[in-house]
Chain A
Amino acid sequence: MTHAVASARGQALRRGWFRFRQSGLSMLGAALVVAVLAIAIVGPWIAPFPGHVAGGVDTANRFLAPSLAHPFGTNELGQDVLSLVLAGTRISVLAGLGVVVLGTLFGTLVGAVAGFAGGWTDEVLMRLSDLKLTIPGLILAMAVAAALGAGLLNMVIAIALSWWPGYARLVRGEVLARKEEVYVAAARAIGASPARILFRHVLPNIVSPVVVKMSLDMGFAILTVASLGFIGIGVRPPTPEWGTLLSVSRSYMPDFWWTAVFPGLAMFVAIFGFNLLGDGLRDVLDPRARR
């Protein structure tokens, strides 16, 4: 990379950061996301009752209302709800990230190949992704997750399987547009191989729409993970996944409302943060969406 290109990129970044900072909501989103990520990293260690996270129970202290000792109360097994929510952050964030990354990798590959190869390959790959888009994603993910059996990894794979077509379409469209650029013609004239052109010249130029979509999808992926947990497919107790926590504590409402409300609120705050951040990033990186 030449010096001129590097400094131009640096300038664009600085300008983007300036625009991002102008919006209070984007900054709030960034702050929430940083907090969620920090809790995802240290959550299990700062949990006040680490024993409960590992599955330990304390039946003498079942269903204690929120207090100083237990800010979020305790559940039907006497476990500290705050500890479970903190530890659950890592599971939800990791699972959400897993879904988005897997979906992006596979979708980008399919979209890039379809757009770059064109013709027959394009037709087959795109009809396949149309098909996936027609089947309701949640039902597909549920069916695959149930067939694969319980477990975090199986659930991530099941959701990612219904996740990639969006990326495939996006990347295909971008690749089709970039393919006609002069620099691609130049690279081809020098004798660069199709793979080199794709990975070295085309893909780096379509990173920003993909990143925007990833950040917009992150909240939705966390939501889908929690949905499967709530239905009872996917992660099983005692793994403290937010949706699973909510589904178990549902039966103890209204008297022991705190067992359901706090995991739900954690979910909402995390998803809201990622959505605010995604919206802010889109405004900065995608000039077409700016109004």
Chain B
Amino acid sequence: MLRFVLRRLVLVLPVLLGMTVMMFIIARLLPGDPVALAAGPNATAAEIAAYAAEFGLDQPVTVQYWRYLSGLLGGDFGVSIFSRRPVLDDLLTYLPATLELVLAAMFLAVVLGIPAGLAAAVWRNRWPDYLGRVAALAAISMPRFFLGLLLQLGFAMWLLWLPLGGRFPIILEPPPLVTGFLTLDALIAGDGTAFATACRHLAMPAIAMCLSPLATIMRMMRASTIEVLQQDYVMTARALGLPARQIVFKYVAKNAVSATLTVIGLYFGWLLGGTVLVETVFDWPGLGLYATQAIVSQDFMPVIGVAMVIGLLFVLVNLVVDLLYGVINPKVRYS
């Protein structure tokens, strides 16, 4: 199994390498002049040239790329041409916020989606199933940013129950930094008020993000449960007179979940790349907002950095999912 893990990790390298090449092509070959944009509207040609020289952008693309790659080996992700801050520092600052949001959304999606799918399959072709299917399709069709705006309108502007956006009020002291997840850090510090505040900020963005994975998990779970329900051993269990509840929860659910697990892994990566919209709506200080600001100003080092972090996390999560198959189903062998 160790060999399986190592081989998968080594296979990530060409993907990351390809990613840097592709982003360099986009950044350098497409029209658009990031340097002039960064130097400001009143910069003279000489000032722009000096600015380009400062960041090595006056060199040929191949030289720039080579510098970037050798920097990467030392953990240097380049520098933002706008803020002049190292990209790695920014990534480390914004990553925990995005991860916290994605994990919260995924948690909601799994906790609600798996029972919903199970229920839809058990009551197949009856009203809970129809209702669930229509709701799932509606959830997939709902633009996340529009749902986010509706939530803001309802819960933050009219009912005044939840904060409009942000991650933690500036006027309050955040819990001491341990994991970077504010909710966890508040728990570790034993600060109940801070935990409640963090959760109140997390609630709406997490709900806006969880709908479409929730719907997909529900549909997957329904389909795989229906398949498992038709297996011989389920019929045997029925023939033996086991109570329906025991059959569904003890034998069917466990086997149906393993097919759904793949979707969960794939969706995790999709969510990481899709936080952009929700973070924009809720001013959530994460990778998506960071990437958006960098893209609008055509500041490409941060964009490559974000794409690489997301790609790496995506591969890692899917590796964990593959390993989890073995935990759920001991028949799985890694080769």
- A residues bordering B, Cβ < 8 Å? 25, 127, 130-131, 134-140, 142-144, 146-149, 219, 223, 226-227, 230-233, 243, 246, 250, 253-254, 257, 260-261, 264, 267-268, 271-272, 275-276, 279, 291
Contacts and interface: CB of A to CB of B under 8 A. Distances in A.
Interface of B: 14-15, 18-19, 22-23, 26-27, 30-32, 133-134, 137-138, 140-143, 145-146, 149-150, 152-153, 157-158, 223, 226, 269-270, 272-274, 276-277, 280-281, 291-292, 295-296, 298, 300, 303, 306-307, 310-311, 314-315
Contacts of A142: 276, 291-292, 295
A144 B32 CA distance: 10
Contacts of B291: 139, 142
B307 A136 contact: yes
Nearest to B311: A134
B143 A257 contact: no
Contacts of A147: 26-27, 30-32, 298
Contacts of B138: 272
Contact of B32 (A149, A232, A291): A149
B146 A267 contact: yes
A194 B74 CA distance: 50
A134 B134 contact: no
In the A-B complex, the 9 residue pairs with the closest CB atoms: A136-B273, A254-B157, A147-B30, A264-B146, A272-B141, A271-B141, A131-B18, A147-B32, A142-B295
A143 B299 CA distance: 10
B271 to A, nearest CB: 10
Contacts, number: 132
Interface centre among B142, B145, B158 (most CB of A within 10 A): B145
Given A143-B295, A232-B296, A135 B311 contact: yes
Contact of A139 (B14, B157, B273): B273
B223 to A, nearest CB: 7
Given A146-B298, A147-B26, A257-B153, A275 B274 contact: no
Contacts of B158: 254
Contacts of A226: 143
A215 to B, nearest CB: 13
A136 B274 contact: yes
A131 B158 CA distance: 45
Given A131-B15, A135-B273, 17 more contacts: A127-B18, A136-B269, A139-B307, A139-B310, A144-B30, A147-B26, A147-B27, A233-B296, A243-B145, A250-B281, A253-B152, A254-B158, A264-B146, A268-B146, A271-B141, A272-B137, A272-B141
28 contacts: A135-B273, A136-B310, A136-B311, A138-B274, A139-B295, A140-B26, A143-B23, A143-B27, A143-B300, A146-B32, A146-B295, A147-B31, A149-B32, A219-B141, A223-B141, A223-B143, A227-B145, A227-B277, A230-B280, A231-B280, A231-B292, A232-B296, A254-B157, A260-B149, A268-B141, A268-B146, A279-B137, A291-B226
Contacts of A275: 137, 140-141
Nearest to A131: B18
Given A135-B311, A148-B30, A250 B143 contact: no
B22 A135 contact: yes
A250 B184 CA distance: 32
A162 to B, nearest CB: 10
A138 B140 CA distance: 16
Contacts of B157: 253-254
A250 B149 CA distance: 8
Contacts of B23: 135, 143
B334 to A, nearest CB: 21
A136 B149 contact: no
A165 to B, nearest CB: 12
A134 B318 CA distance: 12
B314 A264 contact: no
A243 B277 CA distance: 11
Contacts of A271: 141-143
Contacts of A272: 137-138, 141
Contacts of A131: 15, 18-19, 22
Contacts of A140: 26, 307
